[in-house]
Amino acid sequence: MEVLDLGLVGYSEALKRQEDLLYKRINGRVGDTLVLAEHHPVISLGRVGKRESITSESFFEGKGTPVIVSSRGGEITYHAPGQLVLYPIIDLSRKKRDISFYIDFLEKTAVNSLKRLAVEAERTTRRGVWTKGKKIAFIGIALKRWVTFHGIAVNINCDIEPFSYIHPCGESDIRVTSAKEELGREIPMDEVKRTFTEEFEKDLRLEYAGMAALV
């Protein structure tokens, strides 16, 4: 599997890179690819996202934070530097055609990665990844011809204050945290990216071992 680190990049630019890889993967011109990115501050609204989930438009307007309607699933979330976003471009038709299974995999690999970084992460009955009752990772995916794009955003060193001015995932009762908040220190992003990449590749092999959907 190839790994492409875009570094700090605009949300729209990252989407263009994903879409380019998506169509190349569909046409067999590239293999499975894991795209890593951090984003300049932005609010993204998924396919069922509602502008009303922003509880203080003035807060984001004052900071010049744009609101972008995205092609991913899910509702609303916030992206900023210090948040690691993983965008897997993976052909599930060659593994297992099961969207819930794939989302489970994303959650599991995020939990495993965060635990390696000393964060007490877990899965619950609600989607995403949690620690001590607070949400630390957010999932919003899309598929085209069983090739995945979009993915999972994990709060590492990012400022979490802006999350208090939205209803994350469209739900008013979600408290948000980050690895920095939980540990009381920043984690070098190079270490974070290395850990998540290693866990993603390992867990992908384990979760999809021996599975080959009909093509």
Return d(Cα 141, Cα 151) in angstroms, integer.
5
CB contact at 8 A, 196 and 122: no
Residue 169 designated active-site: yes
Cα dihedral 96, 199, 105, 131, rounded to 10, equals: 180
Q: Catalytic residue, from 90, 156, 169, 189: name it.
A: 169
DSSP assignment of 82-134? TEEEEEEE-BGGGT---HHHHHHHHHHHHHHHHHHTT---B--SSSSEEETTE
Among all residues, which ones are annotated catalytic? 169
